[in-house]
Amino acid sequence: MAGAVEGFPLALSGQNFVAGSGTTASTILINGTPRGTTCTSATSCATALNPADVESPTTLTIEVQNPGAPGMLSNPVPLVVVPFDVSESIISLTATESVANGTDIIVTEPTTAAASAPIDVDSIGLLAGGNCGFGASPLSVTRPSSGTATVSLCVHGNGLDASMAYTFTGPDGDVNNSDIGVTASPVIGLFPNTIELDLQISSTTLPGLRSLFITTLNNDRAVATGMLEVN
């Protein structure tokens, strides 16, 4: 999608590349312009795309050129940058209508970063006194009888960072209807990629299971389904 605010890697697979980097190795061309390239083998080369490359919808032409005079060029491959769109749809199920028929689910990957630098959640727990009590999902929290209470969680996963957006779904399962405030910060002294989430739970927060959505600056997204239960 157009509008990425962070650079991300672009990996190419093919045949007859020249391994290495620099003038003695294969080079990736984007719209005919050579980019800094590292080829780990004769079948794999990688470079980096910059935010300027994908700031607007367009089609980039990707090629690989081997060293030589002139160097042999590969076939061109298009990389399509589509307009930015984060529209969402909700499939509502009930106890009496537990099946949705005739519904097509299309998952769009916002950038290639999702494949090369995946994000996920592998463990969660309650955070108290600097200690993380990793436990089973869902974590159970109780609403205060009045006012607002802060509940601190620790979340560990692949590639997590406090700069990402962390949002719990609402009681209806819609991430846009959340009634839980979340503040993210890094956890110092624990495992890398561990994030502290301070949740604002009020007496009006509705009970039920909640899923945690994590969104990167490039709008790649992961979800920890049924991570939290509000009582």
Asked if residue 148 lies in contact with residue 141, where contact means CB atoms within 8 angstroms, the answer is no
Band of pLDDT at residue 7, cut at 50, 70 and 90: confident
Who has greater pLDDT, 112 or 53?
A: 53
CATH of domain 118-230: 2.60.40
Provide the pLDDT for residue 87. 66
Q: Compute the average pLDDT of residues 39-67.
A: 94
Band of pLDDT at residue 115, cut at 50, 70 and 90: very low
Q: Compute the average pLDDT of residues 117-130.
A: 83
Q: Please indicate whether the domains covering 8-81 and 118-230 agree at the CATH topology level.
A: yes
Distance of CA 14 to the CA centre of its chain: 26
- Pick the range with the lowest mean pLDDT from 93-97, 104-108, 128-132, 136-140: 104-108
Please determine, for residue 112, whether its predicted confidence score (pLDDT) is greater than 60: no
Please determine, for residue 113, whether its predicted confidence score (pLDDT) is greater than 50: no
Who has greater pLDDT, 79 or 191?
A: 79
Q: Kindly report the backbone phi and psi dihedral angles of residue 144, in degrees, each rounded to the nearest multiple of 5, phi listed first.
A: -70, 155
Kind and range of the H or E run holding 116 = helix 113-116
CATH of domain 8-81: 2.60.40
Please determine, for residue 124, whether its predicted confidence score (pLDDT) is greater than 60: yes
CA distances from 26 to 13, 48, 70, 74, 146 (A): 12, 15, 13, 10, 65
- Pick the range with the lowest mean pLDDT from 16-30, 110-124, 198-212: 110-124
Residues 6+ apart with CB under 8 A from 91: 100, 103
Tokens of 90: 């909700």
- Please report, for the chain, the start and end positions of each structural domain, with discontinuous segments joined by +: 8-81, 118-230
Please determine, for residue 110, whether its predicted confidence score (pLDDT) is greater than 70: no
Please determine, for residue 153, whether its predicted confidence score (pLDDT) is greater than 90: yes
